[in-house]
Amino acid sequence: MTNEEILREIASLPIEAQRQIEDFIAFLRQRYQPSQLAEPALTSDLKTEGFFGMWRDREDMQDSTAWVRNIREQHWGK
């Protein structure tokens, strides 16, 4: 289909359908626009984050697999 044929087809549609085509074209432009200059990702040492090691002293978390299994059994049963 040529560009002229596509334009004729669009022009033959009701106004609401033409608006939907415009919206779809805007969506496609946004989705497929060349990636803009991305800011470099901020990297940090996780060990300096406040949450790191917050469960280190919990005895119930020594075996995390058993802890998760226990929680699932409590909430969902066997």
State how far Cα 67 lies from the chain centre: 29
Classify residue 14: in a domain, yes or no. Answer: yes
Classify residue 56: in a domain, yes or no. Answer: no
The model's pLDDT over 29-42, given as tens digits with 9 standing for 90+, comes to: 998 887 655 566 66
Classify residue 15: in a domain, yes or no. Answer: yes
Classify residue 16: in a domain, yes or no. Answer: yes
Classify residue 39: in a domain, yes or no. Answer: no
d(CA 40, CA 59): 39
Model confidence, pTM: 0.42
Cβ–Cβ contacts within 10 Å for residue 8, how many? Answer: 11
Containing structural domain, residue 23: 3-32
The model's pLDDT over 59-76, given as tens digits with 9 standing for 90+, comes to: 888 888 898 888 888 888
Classify residue 22: in a domain, yes or no. Answer: yes
Classify residue 27: in a domain, yes or no. Answer: yes
Q: Domain count for the chain, please give it.
A: 1
